[in-house]
Amino acid sequence: MVTHSSTTRQTTGRRTFETEVLVIGGGVTGAGILRDLALRGIHGLLIDKKDLCAGASGGNHGLLHSGARYVSNDLQSAVECREEGEILKRLAPQCIDNTGGLFVSVEGDDEDFAGKFPGFCLAAGISCQEISATEARQLEPGLSASTRRAFMVPDATVDPFRLALENVAHARTLNESIYRPHTEIISFDIEAGIIRSALCRDNRSGEELRVIARQYVNAGGAWAMNIAHLAGCRDVHLLYSKGTLLVTHDRLTKRVINRLRPPSDGDILVPGGTVSVLGTTSLRTESLDRVLPTVDEVNRNILEGAAMLPALAHTRYIRAFSRVRPLLQSVGDSDDRSATRGFALLDHQSQNLKNFCTITGGKLTTYRLMAEKAADLVAGRMANTTACRTAIDPMPGGDACRWTEPGASPKYWYQAHNTEDTILCECEMVPQSAIDQIIHCAPGAEEDMTLEAIALRSRAGKGPCQGSFCGIRIASYLYDRGYYQDRTGLIHMRDFFNERFKGQRTVIWGQQMAQMELAEALHCGLLGLDCLEDVCQDTPENE
């Protein structure tokens, strides 16, 4: 089935994959690079030590920035956001909800900043229209009574999971480029300034794999510095900023709501289908592991957010999550929020490597541009003169990628009108046919599919029960299908619940507490998943 790449088993028993370009890191940038290269006729292999969007790509607001957020402190980022936002709205509309956005100030906010805001936007070419506080509250009734000024900007929302899946699916269609999840880079084999091969490990099976490519791209996001170190490169300097966000049970606004002040805690609320996402805090961190939300961060987001939307103080939250943003280090930075949100492409010539580059920093909105720059460098190095097409060609919509969209699943299910197609996740109305399709053909599903992987490719487990019921139903459906034939399904169930819990832990109060009590009674009290005698080794705790 593979044309450009080939797999061989050497005498050592270690499998070898051959490809033209190895892309390390399955965030949106890595996925974008895979597609960009494929559009130029270059075959790629994309690997991620976990799965798509496991880092900052999947751990943000899902905000497609108009750029207005950055007008006061990072003009270049603001302009890039504006341009890239327009391109994505045009070419990948299936991943985007063009909600529009509001910047609002409340009593006590810096009036001077509000006064300067339209001028900042004008300089960045971003459309910005002031409306009265009364008009703003008519548009968004949840806004605080103490709203002072309000500006409309062309913010939108984007589903990063679908975006990554579509990029990978398109690359696969174009030239059978490959995405391989749970594959971690271990070391590079370097000879005379050239990386000859990369040694990887399959984190599920522990199997070691060798990848032979002509070019190697490090799109590791926050992990890019560590990956560069493996190749002996000391020219990637990142700061790590931990951000914590909250997901509400209900969608609270139609539009993106930004606090009209210099970026701070809890000042952006972004709708996403049936929910809203509030954030974020910003905390310098040294560590990339065990990045979990704390009660303090959750409380801070709520306190700040409630100044814009009082309902945030008493609404029901179903989840909190934290991710690390990679920020490019420049001299003398004291505040992470004023550090540039721009990106960097390093060709590593200064490190005496000719076929390795690193792309990092940046943000979700500018992922396409980042991918373009990296692919330009790689293609140039391979003497491929085909120009980038991602700003011209629309992103095709893949059937197996459509299940991440909030509200899409009930629509398809209702349209199909098949009473035999039982709903497995009731909160998000995910039917068994969606699970079938994901297992059969969603990107990254080729070798092995866990409940976590299914959840990443659908809305399963994203609703108020956070998977505590549908995890059981999906597992039993997969047993039925013969997909599970031993205790693996129980282990996947346990791991899935453990993983979902990380996001629930700090927002369990009110109705969520009753939900959680029932879930634990079911998972531990009845099914005994807390005492499962493992048939495999425990997976190491790596988040």
Interface with another protein by CB under 8 A: which range of 24-32, 56-64, 403-411, 520-528?
Answer: 520-528
- Interface residue with another protein among 119, 141, 193, 528 (CB under 8 A) is 528
Q: How far is the CB of 252 from another protein (least distance, A)?
A: 17
- Interface residue with another protein among 87, 139, 292, 441 (CB under 8 A) is 292
- Chain position carrying tokens 């390795």: 356
Closer Cβ to another protein, 112 or 420, answer by number: 420
Closer Cβ to another protein, 284 or 487, answer by number: 487
Give the tokens for residue 401: 């990628």
Q: Which residues of 244-264 are buried (b: 16+ CB within 10 A; e: fewer)?
A: bbbbbbeebbebbbbbbbebe
Pairing between β-strand 96-97 and β-strand 63-64 as defined by DSSP bridges: unpaired
Q: Fill in the per-residue mask, 378 to 397: x = in contact with another protein (CB under 8 A), - = not in contact.
A: --------------------
Of residues 398-427, those binding another protein (CB under 8 A): 419-420, 422-424
Distance, CA of 405 to CA of 274 (rounded, Å): 10
* Torsion angle, alpha carbons of 359, 360, 361, 363, to 10: 80
Q: How far is the CB of 480 from another protein (least distance, A)?
A: 5
Put the strands of the sheet holding 44-47 in their side by side order: 178-180, 44-47, 21-24, 215-218, 356-361, 343-346
Q: How far is the CB of 245 from another protein (least distance, A)?
A: 17
Distance, CA of 354 to CA of 356 (rounded, Å): 6
Residue 332 CB contacts under 8 Å (≥ 6 apart), including other chains:
none
Rounded to 10 deg, the angle between the 367-381 and 28-39 helix axes is 50
- Chain position carrying tokens 């909250």: 246
Residue 533 CB contacts under 8 Å (≥ 6 apart), including other chains:
none
Q: How far is the CB of 310 from another protein (least distance, A)?
A: 15
Closer Cβ to another protein, 75 or 518, answer by number: 518
Closer Cβ to another protein, 1 or 531, answer by number: 531
**Using the rule CB under 8 A, is 191 a contact of another protein?**
no
Closer Cβ to another protein, 391 or 527, answer by number: 527
Interface with another protein by CB under 8 A: which range of 69-77, 82-90, 371-379, 506-514?
Answer: 506-514
Of residues 460-489, those binding another protein (CB under 8 A): 469, 472-473, 475-477, 479-480, 482, 484-487, 489
Residue 392 backbone phi and psi in degrees, to 5: -120, -50
Residues that bind another protein in the complex, under the rule CB under 8 A: 292, 294-296, 299, 302, 419-420, 422-424, 469, 472-473, 475-477, 479-480, 482, 484-487, 489-490, 493-494, 497-498, 501-502, 505-506, 508-510, 513-514, 516-518, 520-532, 541
